[in-house]
Amino acid sequence: MQLTAALTHEGDWYVARCLDVEVTSQGHSVEAALANLREALELYFEDVEPPEDLEPPIIATIRIPA
């Protein structure tokens, strides 16, 4: 199964959010955040059925006046 993650840098942490399901994790590096997210997703899908018709999300950048 292929899922999409978005990462943000928040203080000392990188936060990794899965954009396909509501699962989030964190780590002190990008690699650690993604590894922790992967583990969290594996645990999540032990109790929840994977979506049948998973389509990748549309990612877009939006600019607004500051």
Collapsing DSSP states into helix, strand and coil, what is residue 26? strand
pLDDT (tens digit, 9 = 90+) per residue, 1-46? 899 999 999 999 999 999 999 999 999 999 999 999 999 999 999 9
Q: What is the pLDDT of residue 47?
A: 92
Looking at the predicted structure, is the pLDDT value of residue 53 above 90? no
Predicted local distance difference test score (pLDDT) of residue 60: 93
List, as one string, the DSSP characters of 43-54: HHHHHSPPPTT-
For the whole model, what pTM was predicted?
A: 0.86
Ordered by start, the domain boundaries in the chain are 5-47
Burial of 16 (0-12, 13-18, 19+ CB in 10 A): buried
